[in-house]
Structure 1
């Protein structure tokens, strides 16, 4: 029999059913579970499998029936299945599926083995030890909150336990369960990821913090997204409803992705066409006059299943807890897959999104938010802009394709290419850096703050292509998954900024609107970044040991132009980065590992001697344990790390207005995260993260100081429970979550340092599945989410004593979902 590594992945045996007994607590008696399982095997169920290649039809059969199918891909290659539809017992459906193929089957329990009549009834069974025990794909959907495979950390379909770095996966089911409206919100319960600040409060883009470093670069399906930098805009914002999963790779990622911050990356995996028909519509409402609509449609276009489609859309309109602020969005994401044969897959996809918002920049002083003043505290609803002036318009467009072709049992070729374009306009008065005397008293009491007016327009475009040759082979007893790749990306950013640096002040406690701003002093840039990377990776396994080695050489070029002044600077950098990781998988599900990884990030500009800056470099040491319990469906991981980033820019004390590369930051910490389906109706996720980020070296007074981003300690937990169908509360589901963030520093500098208080916020969810309820309304589910259940007023983060941001107040969303 062929080894599993040599089977065609488009038609290999897969889909061990989700064992009912494995979902029960370990104390449950097996004899109680067996009758239940036996009854489930004999029950008829709704099955719909279009006619298609037999290999893919068998995959779909296993997914829909939770049966294990054993077969030899060489024997089913080139055969077509018969369409199956209706309420059928699994074996009857299999008999119908195999009509006219010359293949029959035998069933034992939840396992079906195929046999070829043409070969004299010779068995096509595979040895049980060679069968994959998971139906999950690294790029596909996950049922529930527990994911066990990923491609973000390896660019191959790999078990999370075999990747020697921390990978966190937030599934679409978890996104829906917690009612996350942005990617930043979806990451709130992930260890080592912190939000707050402008992006979390204003919600026009996502900029999370990973292991004390910001911004964490965002990727979509493994390719770079345009990023304008900070609050100037110029960034795509991907709606979480369009995603299958969100994955976080902790620590340096340059060996696979090129130039990056050393804290890690966030890779968003988009929805793709499926062979299973799906139809979903969502209508919602909620706090702040929220109006929401979404749909997700997909499945085969033809009877043979050669062409598959997916169409996802979102319409959203709501006000905000901040006075006068609002958000409007329209998004449409089509995709099409062509499967000309069992060895080839071609997918083309696109996305168009239009946002029309009235944003509010916030950025409030510590006096009045962190600390009470004689006039009290500043309202969470305060709008410091001008209702008739503030505007954020964004139009974003994405188009790309993915091709995979198996040359033979060893080599697979892949190409992933995408063009992304974002055009946005941001007009708003921001917080100023000084105060004026109160005109009523003549006293400077910190209530009248000046404003800094901006009119920013930006157009960012990025083209990326990743070419991969993947080989699976053995040398003696060592199994190899070899990756050879060449990728390229071209990023261009054009910006025009107009300013009013002496804007009229506003009373932070009793605002009066109607002031005029005079935008002038234009500033332009036209910056281009090009990067070509050559990389290789070998994932080796021997018995229960695994070793991952990777190396990459990058050629990076930066061209910065300032059209108004005529200034221009060019810089070319070449850099090698690498990664090594070693681990051992024990039989009890424990997998300890150790790894080392490096990164680089080019810097723009020149020093006082007109010399270009070198790239900053990063390195991480990580040790950890990943645990996949045998008695329940879960995944738990613990990691300890140290990250050093060198050659960081600090102030040149001898030449004001210039910088020198004398800074370094050290981040040390521990991350613990677990997601477990304790029983079939009880799910738990929890995380704890301890991080200490300090200036290791600095020439401007910050050496030894804690970096004023993130928090030294955060913890979160969410418990979800669905009532059994045998009870009178069948269909009812409830969830409760808590997020704790310890107080952090609001400034890097000793002279103006202050502490932000700790806070704990509670979230909740109540759902009612009418199909499982006594009402038996097929396909309808109602869900209500409550954010900040107790309506706690707290400061989430500060960038300085004049740049603090409140956390969100209580918000309620209600959605009605219909699936058919």
Structure 2
């Protein structure tokens, strides 16, 4: 199972604590550069906006692959910056996305195997620095502290990154070296016996400032909110940037993520109201381990004729496993019954993935027309070995329940599936942007993906293979009414190659919207309406992880979002979405006309920060309060069981104890609201209240 022994944690934690104490002692290096000219000038390097200081982002790349002002982008894009992540104290990707319109999180409650979120009613694919990671459902849980920002693109857009669901996608932007000396180290303690230490620092390595480094890491020793649980993690990333000239940069990064946790609470019997911490699985068979190592390279060079070259590559090696016993009483549930069915589910997987993307961008103008063109190619190759077990376990009477007292030996249980999957994808894409008189901005995107998949049955050695070729398009038009106000309309297509036995999923979306950025960029207000359709929709059963196909589904909706940063004292993050989902054709007609599972009709959120300026010996204090509302939704596509609507409150408090020293307290689910978020065979409760206190020293 490749789980790291727990006996080493105390040593690792002590070592890292001492290391963090020493970080502040790193010396600063002067920055200067001599040129061949007679006059010595300091180098000028253009750096992107600092997401650690910004709440309202002005630039995005995820919508088209071209770095574009958010007002000029004919798509809905929400950016969660590092500042917002810190203010809200987000510890998971689901918490990062909690205050983003049209995003639904925690729809499977106390299941912690994956990052559970949907955008506009559909599971979302994820990317890291523009390179594919994969589906969030079934993938690794990411670490938010690793990222400067999280970009949420709403609506399918396969022309940009390739594989994408019609609801949208998420691009994680990794922390990279900056110029000059900077950093922070923190200690954190909280609910569920949480103890955490982390750091993020960097500096220049030469006097010229052309060589810089950055180190990011954390170590957490914690439990989850259920009995017999753990939630431990180690993350370490090192990156090196070389900028020999203003026109050239090369960044190399290496990171390692290790998680030692549990899959979740295993569910609670339907019709009961036990404490959410009550565990009905088996303590000796409850594990979730993940270990991932990633190496990445990014090269950019700008020629002096409007031409730019960009190359990004990443290699990933990952192993994961999980096993647990869960409740599933769909077979014989009856009101008043106290005996429920239990099942064992386990999976071991190991694989590697390589992806490389190279493109040329050419910027030019023709009179009053400005043109930006991006032509690129991408190659991806991955291999994964996966073995899964599933079997019945002795039913239990929850009124007289006791654990069996022993684990389960997987060598004595026949796996139901064991296979190796090898996939290769070759892609070519084109993005074209034309700006007329600084008012009309037209976007066109085309991409062709050709993939081949080979699956080997590791039971008998039999091999099956298949290939696909898909072309997707995107077109958009933006009109700048004023420099601060734009309206747009767009059409986009998406494609997801499901598997050998299931046809690729194809999506189409029409969208129209308006964006307003007043107050000199300190605020961004957006509104959008959309109509998206997904054909041959493949649904993954969250219990068995087996694929089930729905012929066609449709979601129509409206998104409203506001991010306002009134300079120093006041900021607001608000969002509202209305989603109208429908299963148009499920193949046999039994669910036609029903709503999609886990898609509420209404979702809304509001977060407010107020800063009380320091006076005398008292430093600044920041008070934050948030509310998240989720409307009723069905737990299955048959629409047989409906969940209640609920509202969750979150809060934060920050105090500058002294210069560069900050105390922060964050509370999620302030009132400890308990509700059922998933009801497939059992009750899956929402995450309970957690409190975290962090002491941070920055420089």
The normalised TM-score by structure 2 is 0.89
- Matches of 1:263 and 1:617 in 2, distance apart? 11
Instruction: Name which of 721, 724, 732 aligns with 2:613.
Output: 724
Cα offsets for 1:212-237 (capped at 9, x unmatched): 002x111111111255x84xx5x333
Distance 1:226 1:619, change over 3 A: closer
Match of 1:512 in 2: 402
Say whether the 8 Å CA contact 1:526–1:561 is kept in structure 2: yes
* CA apart distance, 1:491: 2.1
Partner of 2:205: 301
1:618 to 507, 531, 541: 507
**Higher RCO, 1 or 2 (CA under 8 Å, sep at least 6)?**
2
> 1:506 offset after TM fit, Å?
3.1
Which residue in the other structure is 2:665 paired with?
A: 784
What is the 5 A alignment of 1:473-512?
Answer: 473-499=364-390, 501-508=391-398, 511-512=401-402
Sort the Cα spacing of 1:790 and 1:259 in 2 relative to 1 into closer, same or farther, 3 A: same
User: 1:203 offset after TM fit, Å?
Assistant: 3.2
Instruction: Please point out which of 644, 648, 656 is paired with 1:761.
Output: 648
Alignment match, 2:414: 521
2:165 corresponding residue in structure 1: 261
In 1, the alpha carbon distance for the partners of 2:548 and 2:299 equals 45
Matched, 1:461 2:352: yes
Query: Alignment partner for residue 122 of structure 2, among 201, 204, 213?
Result: 213
In structure 2, the CA distance between the partners of 1:738 and 1:423, relative to structure 1 (3 Å rule), is same
Q: 5+ unaligned residues in a row in structure 2: which ranges?
A: 1-27, 541-545
Structure 1: gaps (5+ residues): 1-47, 55-77, 81-98, 104-113, 115-134, 369-375, 438-442, 607-612, 652-657, 771-776
| Structure 1 residue 515, shift from structure 2 partner | 4.9
CA spacing shift, 1:665–1:526, aligned 2, 3 Å: same
Q: Describe the superposition over 1:448-470 as per-residue Cα deviations: whole angstroms up to 9, x where unpaired.
A: 32221123110132111110101
Q: Secondary structure at the match of 2:122?
A: coil
Aligned match of 1:638: 527
1:807 maps to 686
Give the match's secondary structure for 1:521: coil
Q: Of the two, which has the highest radius of gyration?
A: 1
C-alpha distance 186-699 of structure 1, shift in aligned 2 (>3 A): same
Q: Aligned-residue CA RMSD in angstroms?
A: 2.6
Judging changes above 3 Å, is the alpha-carbon distance between structure 1 residues 647 and 729 closer, same or farther for their aligned structure 2 residues?
same
Alpha-carbon distance change, 102 to 741 in structure 1, aligned in 2, over 3 angstroms? closer
List per-residue Cα deviations over 1:572-606 (Å, max 9, x = no partner): 11111011100111226110000000011223243
> For 1:142-161, what aligned pairs fall within 5 Å after superposition?
142-161=52-71
Count, aligned residues? 661
Cα pair distance change 1:659/1:291, threshold 3 Å: closer
Does the Cα contact within 8 Å between 1:196 and 1:805 map onto a contact in 2? no
Do the aligned residues in 1 keep the contact of 2:58 with 2:521 (CA within 8 Å)?
Answer: no
1:332–1:524: structure 2 CA closer, same or farther, 3 Å change rule? same
Cross-structure match for 1:344: 248
Question: Cα–Cα, structure 1 residues 136 and 403, in superposed 2: closer, same or farther, change >3 Å?
Answer: closer
Is 1:818 aligned to residue 697 of structure 2?
yes
Q: Are 1:603 and 2:498 matched, yes or no?
A: yes
Q: Is the 8 A contact 2:62 2:160 kept in 1?
A: no
More strand by share: 2
Q: 1:646 to 1:243 in 2, by over 3 A?
A: same
1:334-380 deviation digits (Å, cap 9, x = unpaired): 00001122211000001112211233352445x32xxxxxxx41321
SS of residue paired to 1:176:
helix
Q: Which residues in structure 2 correspond to 1:355-370 (within 5 Å)? A: 355-365=259-269, 367-368=270-271
Check whether the contact 2:197–2:220 (CA below 8 A) recurs between aligned residues: yes
How has the CA–CA distance of structure 1 residues 463 and 803 changed in structure 2, closer, same or farther, with 3 Å as cutoff?
farther
Structure 2 residue 258 is the aligned partner of structure 1 residue 354: yes
SS in structure 2 of the partner of residue 359 of structure 1: coil
Which stretch shifts more, 504-513 or 271-280?
A: 504-513
| Structure 1 Cα separation of the partners of residues 514 and 171 of structure 2 | 23
| Distance verdict in 2 for CA 1:722–1:136, change over 3 Å | farther
Give the deviation of 1:53 after TM superposition.
5.0
Between the aligned partners of 1:646 and 1:51, the Cα distance in structure 2 is 56
CA distance in 2 between partners of 1:445 and 1:814 (Å) = 43
**Residue number among 384, 389, 396 corresponding to 2:292 in the alignment:** 396
CA-to-partner distance for each residue in 1:276-304, whole Å, 9 max, x for gaps?
A: 21121010101111101100110201111
1:423 is the counterpart of 2:319: yes
**Do the aligned residues in 1 keep the contact of 2:110 with 2:267 (CA within 8 Å)?**
no
> What does the per-residue CA deviation read over 1:528-585, in whole Å, with 9 as the maximum and x for residues that have no partner?
2221111111111112111111111111212222221444321111111011100111
2:485 paired residue number: 590
Q: Is the 8 A contact 1:434 1:449 kept in 2?
A: no
Aligned to 1:447: 338
Tell me the secondary structure at the aligned position of residue 190 of structure 1.
coil
Range 778-787 or range 383-392, more displaced: 383-392
CA contact 2:156–2:508 (8 Å) conserved in 1: yes
3-state SS in 1 of match to 2:85 = helix
Query: Equivalent of 1:471, from 339, 362, 376?
Result: 362
Match of 1:275 in 2: 179
* Matching residue of 1:22: none
In 2, Cα distance between the equivalents of 1:787 and 1:742?
A: 19
Q: CA separation of 1:149/1:446 partners in 2, compared to 1, >3 Å: closer, same or farther?
A: farther
Q: Does 1:578 align with 2:473?
A: yes
Structure 2 distance, partners of 1:237, 1:446, is: 36
Match for 1:686 among 574, 586, 592?
A: 574
TM superposition shift of 1:191? 0.2
Which residue of the partner structure matches residue 670 of structure 1? Answer: 558
Supply the distance in 2 between the matched residues of 1:326 and 1:731 (Cα, whole angstroms).
Answer: 36
Instruction: Compute the displacement of 1:797 (Å).
Output: 3.3
Name the residue aligned to 1:66.
none
1:101 aligns to 2:40 (yes or no)? yes
| TM value normalised by structure 1 | 0.77
Whether the 8 Å contact between 1:414 and 1:468 is mirrored in structure 2 is: yes
Deviations 1:156-205 (A, max 9, x none): 2211111111111000011111111111110000001111134x634343
Deviations, residues 637-691 of structure 1 (Å, cap 9, x unaligned)? 111101111133699xxxxxx9997710001111111100124211111000111
